[in-house]
């Protein structure tokens, strides 16, 4: 299909004026006409009035979000077939699945690669038109011999002479004068591999005196190949003998290419070009069936890239996509090379590499001599993926974790084999990363242990197994303790101290984070009361609210009740929510934050810089401070990217009149850099590890006493570095 077409109208829907402006400028430069709407309701009205060719729709919008607007657009007259591209910064699988569930054609991840936007819209338009034409073409082909005279031909069987229309000659790449009249001349243009198919169809039609319909390739005199659909019917003389055959010839090359493209989109990953999970499962089931019949060895490798999420979040999705493409190429190449070392039949391809989604890949190996040969493949893959990647001036090292499962030892069907390979991969990741593990029953034991941990978690509150530790926050100017952050710890009676990284995700998954979060809130309020009653200087406590806890309908009531029960002034409590939690539903977040702020508590955005905050929302949130995520502090001041990010966050935060807190400060170089850049507060091991309540109380008392007796001798070093 030609790229030349009348300017298409694109409706850009986004509540962010800057995004709409950038999209308009980009698309108009690409030759499109652009109209705008600033929310979902505006999009519906504009669609009915303008009938755009394409809709570019943001996901996160107030009142009527992108998901709801997309579903509503599809229900409008003329809205069923218009291409809808959704713009989203949400990269979890549930959000992406929902994009397609509500009827979107495709999605574009934020931040948007603006130079590619025009090409993406053109591609969607072409694909949409191809799909529409494919449907219309199929309807026309049903009655092709009656529809038009174009492509008409008639063959006199007795004389072997054929009369052909100019369209048939054009399809064949010849002028009417160049086209020989003999039927045998046409046969010479049929692709050699298709001649027998065509001859059989024509012979069967003559023998049975029935119509025929066949697709085949023709080779033009200039060497180009076209695909044609031919229909014909036999005409008999009064004696009932076949005398003529007439029919139509239609060039269906573009239709076939569109079908191949649709097939490619359905079964192959658009980013890497590898088979996707659907094709992989289909091929896996076929391979299992063949192995079962032939008693052959079949090996499954499941792998994902180590630290990919951090790289993706830090450097952006464009770098993440480039990394995935390069990793897929290295994976494919390393498997091909290893394949030669292990296969029995050197003429047969005996591997299949697929992308399951995200940074997850699978490799299917057949024809191995023994299960141990899979380790050679795994070694080669690890070696290839451990080599540095270079993107956008960054050297990136990722590595991979690989799980290996063998048929039929580790599973009698494809689904079980894949599940057990995944279990082995997870085991490899939990035990050091950048390695491989063969599946064994111990991994099932690990799953059982997780279930046991979940059962214990249900009883931990009633058994009083939780405690709070407190990590001081230090003012950079006075070097005094100006607050603490409460961090939960779980002392299991049999398993000992369990890391929050192990039980907090489980609590989120099971919903137990709600009662646990309320316990943290009330325990922190009780500690504030205890310090006040002991005559200590006022030390506010910050607690983390999980996304699930924050979005409770009665969260304001829960906070108010805790403050009232322990007679704690609201300004002594700070509530921290993560940036990603805040942006799940920005409009609802803003409403909840305003209600909490009205109570009098302080509000902080935690892990800032790891999500996709819109500044238009951020400045509307009633927050008091931003906490720079530790991932941007760890390599300060040596990492120039982290330097730029930290400086930008501090400058932006101060411009919004917010307090800036740096997490994870572990050395003096980090402290000096942040102090020089006017960061307000810090916390981290350089000052103090998280301390039990008793030790933290003593630390606060000692530090307060030191400040009273030696006001001229300000604190210049760690508070409790060895605690």
The enclosing H or E element of 342 equals helix 317-342
Question: Does residue 384 fall inside a structural domain?
Answer: yes
The enclosing H or E element of 647 equals helix 640-655
DSSP conformational letter for 190: B
DSSP, residue by residue, 671-716: HHHHHHTT--EE-STTTB--EEHHHHHHHHHHHHHHHHH-TTS---
Question: Does residue 585 fall inside a structural domain?
Answer: yes
Same structural domain for residues 469 and 609? Answer: yes
Domain boundary (208, 232, 256) is at: 256
pLDDT at 394: 81
Neighbours of 600 (CB within 10 A): 14
CA-nearest of 118, 399, 412, 425 to 301 is: 425
For 123-138, write each residue's pLDDT tens digit: 989 988 887 787 666 5
Domain boundary (142, 159, 193) is at: 142
Same structural domain for residues 413 and 478? Answer: no
| CATH code of the domain covering residue 241 | 3.30.450.20
Domain boundary (78, 109, 142) is at: 142
Sorted by sequence, the CB contacts under 8 Å of residue 67 that are 6+ apart come out as: 59, 98, 99, 102
Percentage of residues of the chain with pLDDT beyond 70: 89
For 340-365, write each residue's pLDDT tens digit: 444 444 334 568 899 998 899 999 99
**Structural domain containing residue 432:** 270-441
**Is residue 5 predicted with pLDDT exceeding 60?**
no
Give the 3-state secondary structure of residue 24: helix
Give the 3-state secondary structure of residue 346: coil
Same structural domain for residues 135 and 161? Answer: no
DSSP conformational letter for 112: P
Do the bridges between strand 212-219 and strand 161-164 make them parallel or antiparallel, or are there none, so unpaired?
A: unpaired
pLDDT at 175: 86
Q: Report how far residue 422's alpha carbon sits from residue 416's, in angstroms, rounded to the nearest whole number.
A: 10
The lowest-confidence range among 29-38, 76-85, 165-174, 259-268 is: 259-268
For 301-353, write each residue's pLDDT tens digit: 999 998 888 788 778 888 889 999 999 999 988 887 655 444 444 334 568 89
Same structural domain for residues 158 and 220? Answer: yes
CA-nearest of 441, 482, 465, 421 to 604 is: 482
Contact criterion met (CB below 8 Å) for 500 and 492: no
| CATH code of the domain covering residue 15 | 3.40.50.2300
**Is residue 148 predicted with pLDDT exceeding 50?**
no
Contact criterion met (CB below 8 Å) for 85 and 121: yes
**Is residue 193 predicted with pLDDT exceeding 80?**
yes
Sorted by sequence, the CB contacts under 8 Å of residue 722 that are 6+ apart come out as: none
Do the bridges between strand 573-578 and strand 602-608 make them parallel or antiparallel, or are there none, so unpaired?
A: parallel
CA-nearest of 82, 75, 250, 116 to 172 is: 250
pLDDT at 360: 93
Question: Does residue 720 fall inside a structural domain?
Answer: no
Question: Does residue 485 fall inside a structural domain?
Answer: yes
Question: Does residue 359 fall inside a structural domain?
Answer: yes
Q: Token pair for residue 573?
A: 């409590």
For 439-462, write each residue's pLDDT tens digit: 886 665 555 666 677 788 888 888
Long-range contacts of 268-274 (CB under 8 A, 24+ apart): 269/354, 269/355, 271/321, 271/324, 271/325, 271/355, 272/324, 272/325, 272/328, 272/329, 272/355, 273/328, 274/328, 274/332, 274/353, 274/354, 274/355, 274/361
SS3 percent helix, strand, coil of the chain, rounded to 5, is 45, 25, 30
The enclosing H or E element of 668 equals helix 668-676
Length of the chain: 723
For 44-86, write each residue's pLDDT tens digit: 999 999 999 999 999 989 889 999 999 999 999 888 889 999 8
Q: Token pair for residue 513?
A: 């984070």
Give the mean model confidence (pLDDT) for residues 604-624. 76
For 484-542, write each residue's pLDDT tens digit: 999 999 998 888 888 888 888 888 878 889 999 999 999 999 999 999 999 888 899 99
Same structural domain for residues 323 and 185? Answer: no
Q: Report how far residue 44's alpha carbon sits from residue 174's, in angstroms, rounded to the nearest whole number.
A: 51
| CATH code of the domain covering residue 627 | 3.20.20.450
Same structural domain for residues 619 and 596? Answer: yes
Q: Report how far residue 625's alpha carbon sits from residue 579's, in angstroms, rounded to the nearest whole number.
A: 12
Same structural domain for residues 299 and 207? Answer: no
Rg (CA), the chain: 34
pLDDT at 132: 78
Q: Report how far residue 2's alpha carbon sits from residue 129's, in angstroms, rounded to the nearest whole number.
A: 12
Please report, for residues 70, 201, 362, 684, the alpha-carbon distance to residue 122 in angstroms, rounded to integers and kept in the order given: 20, 40, 32, 50
The strands making up 9-13's β-sheet, listed across from edge to edge, are 33-37, 9-13, 54-58, 84-88, 106-109
486-510 exposure pattern, b = at least 16 Cβ within 10 A, e = fewer: bbbbbeeeeeeebeeeebbebbbee
Same structural domain for residues 220 and 278? Answer: no
Q: Report how far residue 20's alpha carbon sits from residue 24's, in angstroms, rounded to the nearest whole number.
A: 6
Same structural domain for residues 486 and 632? Answer: yes
Instruction: Cite the DSSP H helix spans in 497-631.
Output: 500-510, 513-533, 547-550, 555-565, 579-582, 586-599, 615-618
Same structural domain for residues 106 and 168? Answer: no
Contact criterion met (CB below 8 Å) for 121 and 103: no
Instruction: Cite the DSSP H helix spans in 369-488.
Output: 373-386, 414-430, 441-460
For 653-671, write each residue's pLDDT tens digit: 999 999 999 999 999 999 9
Same structural domain for residues 543 and 475? Answer: yes
Whole-model pTM: value is 0.45
Confidence of residue 569 (pLDDT cuts 50, 70, 90): very high
Question: Does residue 117 fall inside a structural domain?
Answer: yes
Same structural domain for residues 493 and 640? Answer: yes
Question: Does residue 69 fall inside a structural domain?
Answer: yes
CA-nearest of 169, 219, 149, 156 to 190 is: 219
Contact criterion met (CB below 8 Å) for 486 and 543: yes
Neighbours of 464 (CB within 10 A): 9
Contact criterion met (CB below 8 Å) for 417 and 288: yes
Contact criterion met (CB below 8 Å) for 377 and 335: yes
Question: Does residue 499 fall inside a structural domain?
Answer: yes
DSSP conformational letter for 209: T
pLDDT at 660: 95
Give the mean model confidence (pLDDT) for residues 83-102. 83
pLDDT at 73: 93
Count of CA atoms in the C-beta half-sphere (13 A) of 276? 12
Q: Report how far residue 723's alpha carbon sits from residue 711's, in angstroms, rounded to the nearest whole number.
A: 24
pLDDT at 135: 65
| CATH code of the domain covering residue 296 | 3.30.70.270
Token match 């489980």: residue?
506
Q: Token pair for residue 434?
A: 């950048």
Q: Report how far residue 171's alpha carbon sits from residue 228's, in angstroms, rounded to the nearest whole number.
A: 8
Q: Report how far residue 530's alpha carbon sits from residue 152's, in angstroms, rounded to the nearest whole number.
A: 96
Q: Look at the chain and report how many structural domains it folds into.
A: 4
pLDDT at 2: 43
pLDDT at 714: 38
């Amino acid at each position: 299909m030609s790229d030349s077409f009348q300017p298409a109208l694109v409706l850009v829907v986004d509540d962010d004026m800057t995004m709409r402006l950038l999209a308009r400028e980009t698309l108009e430069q690409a030759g499109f006409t652009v109209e705008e709407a600033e929310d979902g309701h505006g999009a519906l009205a504009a669609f009915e009035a303008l009938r755009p060719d394409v809709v570019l729709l943001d996901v996160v919008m107030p009142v009527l979000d992108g998901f709801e607007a997309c579903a509503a657009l599809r229900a409008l007259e003329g809205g069923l077939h218009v291409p809808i591209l959704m713009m989203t910064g949400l990269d979890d699988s549930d959000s992406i699945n929902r994009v397609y569930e509500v009827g979107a054609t495709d999605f574009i991840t934020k931040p948007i690669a603006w130079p590619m936007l025009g090409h993406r819209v053109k591609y969607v338009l072409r694909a949409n038109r191809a799909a529409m034409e494919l449907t219309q073409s199929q309807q026309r082909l049903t009655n092709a011999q009656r529809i038009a005279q174009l492509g008409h031909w008639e063959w006199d069987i007795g004389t072997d002479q054929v009369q052909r229309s100019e369209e048939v000659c054009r399809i064949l790449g010849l002028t009417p004068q160049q086209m020989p009249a003999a039927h045998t001349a046409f046969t010479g243009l049929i692709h050699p591999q298709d001649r027998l198919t065509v001859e059989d169809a024509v012979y069967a039609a003559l023998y049975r005196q029935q119509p025929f319909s066949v697709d085949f390739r023709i080779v033009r005199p200039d060497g180009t190949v076209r695909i044609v659909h031919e229909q014909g019917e036999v005409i008999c003389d009064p004696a009932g003998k076949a005398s003529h055959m007439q029919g139509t010839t239609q060039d269906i090359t573009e239709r076939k290419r569109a079908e191949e493209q649709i097939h490619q989109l359905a079964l192959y990953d658009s980013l890497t070009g590898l088979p996707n999970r659907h094709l992989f499962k289909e091929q896996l089931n076929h391979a299992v069936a063949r192995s079962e019949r032939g008693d052959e060895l079949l090996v499954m490798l499941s792998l994902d890239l180590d630290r990919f999420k951090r790289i993706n979040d830090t450097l952006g999705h464009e770098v993440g996509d480039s990394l995935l493409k390069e990793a897929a190429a290295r994976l494919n190449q390393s498997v091909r090379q290893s394949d030669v070392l292990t296969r029995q039949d050197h003429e047969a391809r005996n591997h299949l590499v697929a992308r399951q989604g995200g940074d997850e890949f699978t490799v299917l190996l057949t024809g191995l001599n023994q299960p141990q040969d899979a380790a050679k493949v795994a070694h080669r893959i690890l070696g290839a993926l451990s080599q540095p990647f270079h993107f956008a001036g960054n050297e990136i090292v990722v590595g991979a974790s690989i799980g290996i499962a063998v048929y039929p030892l580790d599973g009698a069907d494809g689904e079980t084999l894949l599940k057990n390979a995944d279990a082995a991969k997870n085991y490899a990741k939990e035990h050091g990363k950048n390695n491989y593990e063969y599946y064994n029953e111990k991994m099932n034991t690990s799953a059982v242990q997780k279930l046991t941990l979940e059962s214990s978690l249900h009883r931990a509150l009633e058994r009083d197994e939780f405690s709070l530790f407190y990590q001081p926050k230090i003012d950079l100017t006075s070097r005094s303790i100006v607050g603490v952050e409460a961090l939960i710890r779980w002392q299991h009676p049999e398993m000992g101290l369990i890391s929050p990284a192990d039980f907090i995700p489980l609590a989120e998954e099971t919903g137990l984070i709600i009662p646990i979060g309320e316990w943290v809130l009330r325990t922190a309020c009780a500690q504030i009361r205890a310090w006040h009653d002991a005559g200590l200087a006022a030390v506010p406590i910050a607690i983390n609210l999980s996304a699930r806890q924050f979005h409770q309908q009665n969260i304001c009531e829960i906070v108010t009740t805790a403050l009232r029960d322990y007679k704690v002034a609201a300004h002594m409590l700070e509530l921290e929510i993560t940036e990603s939690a805040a942006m799940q539903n920005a409009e609802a977040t803003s409403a909840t934050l305003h209600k909490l702020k009205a109570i009098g508590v302080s509000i902080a955005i935690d892990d800032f810089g790891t999500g996709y905050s819109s500044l238009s929302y951020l400045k509307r949130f009633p927050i008091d401070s931003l906490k720079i995520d530790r991932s941007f502090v760890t390599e300060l001041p040596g990492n120039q990217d982290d330097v730029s990010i930290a400086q930008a966050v501090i400058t932006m935060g101060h411009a919004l009149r917010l307090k800036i807190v740096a997490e994870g400060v572990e050395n003096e170089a980090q402290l000096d850099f942040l102090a020089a850049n006017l960061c307000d507060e810090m916390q981290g091991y350089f000052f103090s590890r998280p301390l039990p309540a008793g030790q933290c109380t003593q630390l606060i008392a000692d530090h307060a006493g030191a400040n009273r007796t030696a006001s001229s001798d300000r604190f210049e070093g760690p508070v409790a570095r060895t605690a």
